[in-house]
Amino acid sequence: MNSSTSTSLPRLAQRLDDIEPFRVMAILARARALEAEGRDIIHLEVGEPDFATPEPIVQAGIAALQAGHTHYTPALGLSALRQAIARYYDERYGVELAADRIAVTPGASGGLLLAMTALFNPGDEVLLADPGYPCNRHFARVVEAEAKSIAVGPDTGYQLTAELVTKNWGPRTRGVLLANPGNPTGSVIDADSLRAIHAVVREKGGWLLVDEIYHELIYDRAEPTAAGLGDDVIVINSFSKYFLMTGWRLGWLVLPEALVPAVDKLAQNLFLAAPTLAQHAALAALKPTTRALLEAHKAELKARRDYLLPELQRLGFEVLAKPAGAFYLYADCSRFTDDSEAFAEHLLQEPGVAITPGTDFGAVEGRSHVRFAYAVELGRLKEAVQRLERCLS
Amino acid sequence: MNSSTSTSLPRLAQRLDDIEPFRVMAILARARALEAEGRDIIHLEVGEPDFATPEPIVQAGIAALQAGHTHYTPALGLSALRQAIARYYDERYGVELAADRIAVTPGASGGLLLAMTALFNPGDEVLLADPGYPCNRHFARVVEAEAKSIAVGPDTGYQLTAELVTKNWGPRTRGVLLANPGNPTGSVIDADSLRAIHAVVREKGGWLLVDEIYHELIYDRAEPTAAGLGDDVIVINSFSKYFLMTGWRLGWLVLPEALVPAVDKLAQNLFLAAPTLAQHAALAALKPTTRALLEAHKAELKARRDYLLPELQRLGFEVLAKPAGAFYLYADCSRFTDDSEAFAEHLLQEPGVAITPGTDFGAVEGRSHVRFAYAVELGRLKEAVQRLERCLS
């Protein structure tokens, strides 16, 4: 039988009007189409490192498959993995956490959904920085809470501060979501500022959530974590970026003890559990022997940043957000255009360099900014700079 | 540093009051504790087949890892997998679907979340059967829609009918969610009834969603699918049950063409993508050579049902829901108890048989029913029946 066609469909949910697609995905699709025509495109748009998952992690995945680990795990994850993550906080940050405060999630995305669902009612307001990662705002929208974007700029290092949180806290505000390091800027909130924000949020009686998915990718300074601030903070983390496990879809939450039963029942209902295979593989990601490989990749990312930042500045981009972490440069392109989307399209079509318009990340400065992801090898970065130079000079 | 302790936490979201934990998970945890003390427990509680993932699927997973397929896929899944799923509908059901109407999701759970988020506003009402799978109700609650549970019983084969849908459709009703086959009953809606329900929902201007995650596990009759009813129907499906890929966390949606862009942007935001490895492995699950292995497992499940059903009836359980599919028997235990939770606890502690109280699945008959999952081998099922006989006679 063939599907019969209906002429009109019932209406969709209103929240769809407030949830934007990633422009970067459309750019990626057009880049792929150009490649299919034989063009050579340099991909500085995608927020995913080019490195494959390191071999010890892959081998642990294969071993898990061979051992038949294909059934569900408990909703909050394998006990051994929760313990290993807790130990990691102690060894890496000197923060002691009970293993049952760790919830293993299907990516940081799954963690954010669990946290938002557990904490916020319709109409509750959550403060976030603009520019910022758009999904963080959209997760709030899904549960009918409201993300209140606060413009940040060079004066606060492109991050929220205790002062901004105090100033913007309203009668409906119930929490703050920070990203540290941030995307698209790579900016970092230091430990003192983190403590000051936490003190304000606690005093206001709200929740502090900190997205630390680019943890361990901070290049020149001490690595802060909010996990040690107190047991009223929620940390969202991921095996995707530093551990190079994007496609495995695995993350975790550090939760207040009192929140664990609520998140457990939500995880049972919303996900059943995170992928079993990825959980077994992640045990290998946390082993000291894997660390040397991961640190080599981190050094490579730092070398890319150290090359690309001055080159972009030389070409006429202004980079006011100090890119201390992650693998992004958020660059002011207003010397060249007042329309970052048209500019990104032009750079894709002409010199074949794919970048992301700032409009993916914020309403305030989005049209005058673009994001460069240094997720391709140094040789390709150099080629990209040469192409940009020819096109923009 | 040690985490400092806060004395009181801010309040949690109100929806948590309406989202119940699975009692079966608590039973499983207590069963594991008894096993740790040396007791032998027969697991008829967990809704997961005991079979490991078939070897060709596992080998495809290993090959994908060796080939370095560890990066993200597009949000709606690998193009090859979407095409393979579309072909599967043609070959298996004679339903022709465009491949771009298939969205690959992180489990059927991910699919349900996408569908509910895309379709329903706060206060919108969705009709479901009671008894039913509790998560289906809870997904509605997460997006602030309301699941309206409608009592069903032996007179309608423990499923909704066109008449029940018509009768219960109210001013705020915007859709119907069927499960076919159903959990906990294994009851099946036949093609005629499905068409009749679809006609009512279309006439009312609502959405019809059909959870078909136990597809292919229907033992004695024709296999219906709602995918061919029209392009205004949403089908939720999974690689977990028939394809024996529970821990891989992979499912799919069949979507109306017009809904694809909305679900695409939601998937980008909520999940990024389903696990890459599982997607590559699933390509092997759909190959004809794998099918013989899957059919052998299905035959084993049927043999278990054919053994267990008359034995339970002999012991004094009444099974009014005709278990035509899935791997569950929903049994009236009122000859033994008026409290299914205490009864399940008793059977766990005394004869060491773990089952699920009906209260996990519905408010109406939950206290007089229990669910038996025949997800252990026949020898263990026989042992379970012997233990129950000694305990209940």
Q: Say if the Cβ atoms of A143 and B13 lie within 8 Å.
A: yes
How distant is the Cα of A68 from the closest Cα of chain B, in angstroms?
6
Q: Which residue has the tokens 């998140």?
A: A263
Q: Helix B276-285 vs helix B288-315: angle between axes, to the nearest 10 degrees?
A: 90
Q: Is the separation of the CB atoms in A193 and A176 below 8 Å? A: no
- Could you tell me if A107 and A25 lie in one domain? no
The pLDDT of residue B181: 95
Confidence of residue B25 (pLDDT cuts 50, 70, 90): confident
Beta strands B369-373 and B328-332 are antiparallel
**Of the residues B268, B288, B308, which one is the last residue of a structural domain?**
B288
Locate the DSSP E strands across A242-352.
251-254, 328-332
Task: Classify residue B131 by burial, with Cβ atoms within 10 Å: 0-12, 13-18, 19+.
Answer: buried
**Rounded Cα gap, residues A146 and A137, in angstroms:** 8
- Could you tell me if A39 and A177 lie in one domain? no
Stretch B208-212: mean pLDDT, rounded? Answer: 97
User: What is the pTM assigned to this prediction?
Assistant: 0.95
- On whether residue B151 sits in a domain, the answer given is yes
Minimal CA–CA distance to A349: which of A31, A22, A25, A45?
A31
- On whether residue B173 sits in a domain, the answer given is yes
- Could you tell me if A259 and A341 lie in one domain? no
Q: Say if the Cβ atoms of B138 and A269 lie within 8 Å.
A: yes
- On whether residue B176 sits in a domain, the answer given is yes
- On whether residue B4 sits in a domain, the answer given is no
Q: Which two tokens stand for residue B160?
A: 């909704």
Confidence of residue B231 (pLDDT cuts 50, 70, 90): confident
B67-103 tens-digit pLDDT:
999 999 999 999 999 999 999 999 999 999 999 999 9
Residue B98 phi, psi dihedral angles, 5° rounding: -70, 135
The pLDDT of residue B47: 86
Domain count for chain A: 2
- Could you tell me if B107 and B240 lie in one domain? yes
Residue range(s) defining the domain that contains residue A79: 55-289
How distant is the Cα of A389 from the closest Cα of chain B, in angstroms?
31
Q: Say if the Cβ atoms of B247 and A73 lie within 8 Å.
A: yes
Q: Say if the Cβ atoms of A144 and B122 lie within 8 Å.
A: yes
Number of residues that make up chain A: 393
The pLDDT of residue A2: 39
Q: Which two tokens stand for residue B307?
A: 């053994």
Of A220-229, B18-27, B344-353, give the range with the top mean pLDDT.
B344-353
The pLDDT of residue B5: 46
Q: Starting from the edge strand earliest in sequence, which strands make up the sheet with B207-211, in order?
A: B102-105, B251-254, B233-238, B207-211, B173-179, B125-130, B146-151
**Of the residues B288, B309, B328, which one is the last residue of a structural domain?**
B288
B285-337 tens-digit pLDDT:
999 999 999 999 999 999 999 999 999 999 999 998 878 999 999 999 999 99
Tell me how crowded residue A310 is: count the other CB atoms within 10 A of its CB. 11
Q: Is the separation of the CB atoms in B169 and B115 below 8 Å? A: no
The pLDDT of residue A26: 86
Q: In the beta sheet, which residues pair with residue B318?
A: B332
**Rounded Cα gap, residues B61 and A62, in angstroms:** 8
The one-digit pLDDT tens for each residue of chain A (393 residues) are 334 444 578 889 999 999 988 888 889 889 989 999 999 999 999 888 899 999 999 999 999 999 999 999 999 999 999 999 999 999 999 999 999 999 999 999 999 999 999 999 999 999 999 999 988 999 999 999 999 999 999 999 999 999 999 999 999 999 999 999 999 999 999 999 999 999 999 999 999 999 999 999 999 888 889 999 998 899 999 999 999 999 999 999 999 999 999 999 999 999 999 999 999 999 999 999 999 999 999 999 999 999 999 999 999 999 988 789 999 999 999 999 999 999 999 999 999 999 999 999 998 899 999 999 999 999 999 999 999 999 998
- On whether residue A246 sits in a domain, the answer given is yes
Domain of B324: which CATH number?
Answer: 3.90.1150.10
Tell me how crowded residue B222 is: count the other CB atoms within 10 A of its CB. 8
- Could you tell me if A243 and A149 lie in one domain? yes
- Could you tell me if A284 and A338 lie in one domain? no
The pLDDT of residue B3: 42
- Could you tell me if A270 and A140 lie in one domain? yes
- Could you tell me if B199 and B300 lie in one domain? no
The pLDDT of residue A4: 43
| Pairs across A and B, CB distance < 8 A | 277
- Nearest by CB: A13 against B71, B109, B117: B117
**Of the residues B266, B288, B310, which one is the last residue of a structural domain?**
B288
Stretch B348-362: mean pLDDT, rounded? Answer: 95
Tell whether omega for the bond before B131 is within 30 degrees of 0, i.e. cis.
yes
- Could you tell me if A80 and A217 lie in one domain? yes
- Could you tell me if B150 and B261 lie in one domain? yes
**Rounded Cα gap, residues A42 and B265, in angstroms:** 24
**Rounded Cα gap, residues A28 and A328, in angstroms:** 17
Longest alpha-carbon distance in chain B: 66
Separation in Å, CA B280 to CA A119, B63, B216, B292:
36, 9, 21, 20
Q: With H, G, I as helix, E, B as strand and everything else as coil, classify residue A54.
A: coil
Mean pLDDT of all residues belonging to chain A: 94
The pLDDT of residue A23: 86
The pLDDT of residue B393: 85
Q: Which two tokens stand for residue A111?
A: 């963690």
Instruction: Quote ipTM for the complex.
Output: 0.94
How distant is the Cα of A138 from the closest Cα of chain B, in angstroms?
7
**Rounded Cα gap, residues A211 and B17, in angstroms:** 26
Q: Is the separation of the CB atoms in B277 and B348 below 8 Å? A: no
Residue A178 phi, psi dihedral angles, 5° rounding: -100, 155
Tell me how crowded residue A223 is: count the other CB atoms within 10 A of its CB. 16
Q: b/e map of B300-317 (b: 16 or more CB within 10 Å)?
A: bbbebbeebbebbeebbb
**Rounded Cα gap, residues B53 and A72, in angstroms:** 12
Confidence of residue B2 (pLDDT cuts 50, 70, 90): very low
Q: Say if the Cβ atoms of A97 and B3 lie within 8 Å.
A: yes
> Which among A119, A249, A263, A297 is the top mutation candidate for probing chain B, defined by the most B β-carbons within 10 Å of its own β-carbon?
A249
Residue B30 phi, psi dihedral angles, 5° rounding: -70, -35
Beta strands A251-254 and A233-238 are antiparallel
| DSSP conformation class of B242 | T
The pLDDT of residue B79: 95
Domain of A215: which CATH number?
Answer: 3.40.640.10
- Could you tell me if B139 and B259 lie in one domain? yes
- On whether residue B7 sits in a domain, the answer given is no
The pLDDT of residue B373: 97
- On whether residue A5 sits in a domain, the answer given is no
Q: With H, G, I as helix, E, B as strand and everything else as coil, classify residue A41.
A: coil
B145-176 tens-digit pLDDT:
999 999 999 999 999 999 999 999 999 999 99
- On whether residue A8 sits in a domain, the answer given is no
B107-144 tens-digit pLDDT:
999 999 999 999 999 999 999 999 999 889 999 999 99
The pLDDT of residue B4: 43
- Could you tell me if A111 and A101 lie in one domain? yes
